[in-house]
Structure 1
Amino acid sequence: MRFGLLGTGYWAVETQGTALADHPEAELVGVWGRDPEKTRAVADRFGITAYDDPDALIADVDAVSIALPPDVQAELATRAASAGRHLLLDKPLSLTIAAADQVVAAVEKNDVASVVFFTSRFQQPVEEFIREAVTTGGWQGARAERFASIYGDNGPYADSAWRKEAGGLWDVGPHALAVLLGVLGMPISVTALSGPNGTTHVLVKHMLGAVSSLTLTLEAPPALTGTSTVFHGTEGAVLVPEHETTSVEAFGSAISQLVQAARHRAPHPCGVHFGRLIVAVLEAAETSIKEGRTVTL
């Protein structure tokens, strides 16, 4: 499958580009970015073509891999799907439900495959846990904590404008929700509050009665950083296993799964419809904070 890379930042190069260049079922043929100088540097690194027009790159490939801010991603993903190209997207899918709906509509109309990359959902120990947890059942709720600290001087995302504006809710929240919804199912209502250090606290009521809670920040004190997800139910409490899979290895799995989804014309569990559902939860949390109420989905 011939891929075009849209984006030239740290994640685009060190995760997506690296995984695509090494994957036996993918051919990385070109890159486009908003900074022409960075675009040329990425092209030189991987020995591919630098494009100055994203639509020209889209026209030359079978699929696009996008590593750009969510609002930019949604527009380009819609254009790529409308051109019949398969989509390998980053999370979150977009920053609004309206933009997510446009991507979904383009995917449906043009019958293209899509995968949204929630890192842990492409790490084998986590996916095995989710399958077993769904089979076990009896879960009454879960607690997910994502305490990140990304704004240090040496951090690769320290200058990320969209992360500074949207915060941990939109950056690390999708990772947590991808696991929670995978086990507890459809969300039906959301309540959220903001706290110190840019923290967002979210409660999600699920259709089958379980309630999950999320604590999310990108501005945690260094001594507090860490992640954990615990499910609790009739059999007690179970911690989602730690994983040693690198982001490049996980993205390689996502590439393989997109290729298979395209080959068999089969929807992927983490496709744009799932990505749209997570955007709906995040947008509802924002509304809950602003208006001081529970939001029904």
Structure 2
Amino acid sequence: MRIGLLGTGPWADMAHAPALRRHDGLEFVGVWGRRASAAEELADRHGTRAYADVDALLADVEAVAIALPPAVQAESAVRAARAGRHLLLDKPLAATVAQGRSVVEAVRASGVASVVFFTARFQPETEAWITEQAAVDGWFTARAQWLGAVFTGDSPFADSPWRREKGALWDVGPHALSVLLPVLGDATRVTAAAPGPGDTVHLVLDHAGGASSSLTLSLSAPPAAAGAAVELRGRAGVTLLPESAEGPVPALMRAADALLASAGGGQPHPCDASFGLRVTEVLAEAETLLNGRW
């Protein structure tokens, strides 16, 4: 499948471009960015072509991977879907529910395949754990902590405008939800939301399966305290999400596998644009509660 990349930031450079270049089932045709010079530099590093015009790139490919800020991603995804291009998207799907719905509507109208890259869902150990726990009845409660040091350590994403604006809720919140929702069921409501230090937020969710969960999300954690953990408790006992030392490139290549399978006539992937929209809806509900408190 001929695929192009929209975006030239650190995530596009360290994750998307290497994954597209290495994947045996993809031909990495080229890259477009909002800054032509950045597109040229990334293309040179990864052995592909820089496009000055996004429509010219869309005309040359069957699919696009998007590594752009959420609001820009949503706009670009609608444009690509209407052109009949399959979508390999990043989380969060969009910055608002309305933007997310526009992506889903464009995907459905065009009949293209979509996959949203929730990292844990494409790591073998964690995906196997999620599948196993989803088959277990009687979960009572869950606790998720997703703590990053983006704003306190030496991160290439520290100056990201959208992360500065939206914070951990929208950056690492999707990761936690991508693990909890398939195990505990959809979030029927956000019952509590409170701010913590820096951009830290604490959430409590009710789930369709009857369990409740608590989430602590931050990009402002001390570097020594950073990390992710998920714990489930129920009739079966206690279980912890296994850690994965794998980097993002192999996981992103598996996301590309999923896109190829779906585009080839397979079933929609569980992490398609519709799931990305549901995550966006939960985040927006939490954001509303947080804004009400402030």
TM-score bin (small chain): over 0.9
Distance in 1 between the 2:20 and 2:257 partners? 10
1:2-26 CA-to-partner distances (Å, cap 9, x unmatched) read 1110011111011110011000000
Distance in 2 between the 1:47 and 1:239 partners? 41
State the one-letter code of the partner of 1:171.
D
1:169-220 CA-to-partner distances (Å, cap 9, x unmatched) read 0000000100000101111101211112221001111112111110001011
1:235 corresponds in structure 2 to: 236
- Between stretches 243-252 and 163-172, larger displacement belongs to 243-252
TM value normalised by structure 2: 0.97
Does the aligned pair in 2 maintain the 1:205–1:211 contact within 8 Å? yes
1:118-175 CA-to-partner distances (Å, cap 9, x unmatched) read 0000000111111111112211121100111113574210110100110000000000
The 3-state SS of whatever aligns with 1:136 is coil
- Between stretches 247-256 and 151-160, larger displacement belongs to 151-160
2:106 corresponds in structure 1 to: 106
* 2:96 counterpart of 1:96: yes
Q: Classify 1:153/1:291 alpha carbon distance in 2 versus 1 (closer, same or farther; 3 Å).
A: closer
1:210 corresponds in structure 2 to: 211
> Identity of counterpart residues, as a percentage?
51
Distance in 1 between the 2:77 and 2:189 partners? 28
2:256 corresponds in structure 1 to: 255
1:178 corresponds in structure 2 to: 178
1:28-73 CA-to-partner distances (Å, cap 9, x unmatched) read 0010011111110111122222111112211210000000100000
1:246 corresponds in structure 2 to: 247
- Between stretches 48-57 and 58-67, larger displacement belongs to 48-57
Distance in 1 between the 2:266 and 2:60 partners? 21
How many residues align? The count is: 293
1:201 corresponds in structure 2 to: 202
1:39 corresponds in structure 2 to: 39
Distance in 1 between the 2:285 and 2:241 partners? 26
* 2:275 counterpart of 1:274: yes
1:73 corresponds in structure 2 to: 73
RMSD of aligned alpha carbons: 1.3
What is the Cα deviation at residue 244 of structure 1?
2.4
5+ long unaligned stretches in structure 1: none
5+ long unaligned stretches in structure 2: none
State the one-letter code of the partner of 1:291.
G
Distance in 2 between the 1:129 and 1:23 partners? 25
The 3-state SS of whatever aligns with 1:264 is coil
* 2:79 counterpart of 1:64: no
The 3-state SS of whatever aligns with 1:232 is strand
The 3-state SS of whatever aligns with 1:229 is strand
State the one-letter code of the partner of 2:229.
S
TM value normalised by structure 1: 0.96
Distance in 2 between the 1:203 and 1:80 partners? 36
The 3-state SS of whatever aligns with 2:264 is helix
2:128 corresponds in structure 1 to: 128
State the one-letter code of the partner of 1:222.
P
What is the Cα deviation at residue 255 of structure 1?
0.5
2:285 corresponds in structure 1 to: 284
Q: Classify 1:121/1:153 alpha carbon distance in 2 versus 1 (closer, same or farther; 3 Å).
A: closer
2:54 corresponds in structure 1 to: 54
1:141 corresponds in structure 2 to: 141
Does the aligned pair in 1 maintain the 2:195–2:202 contact within 8 Å? yes
- Segments of 4+ moved more than 4 angstroms: none
State the one-letter code of the partner of 1:156.
P
1:19 corresponds in structure 2 to: 19
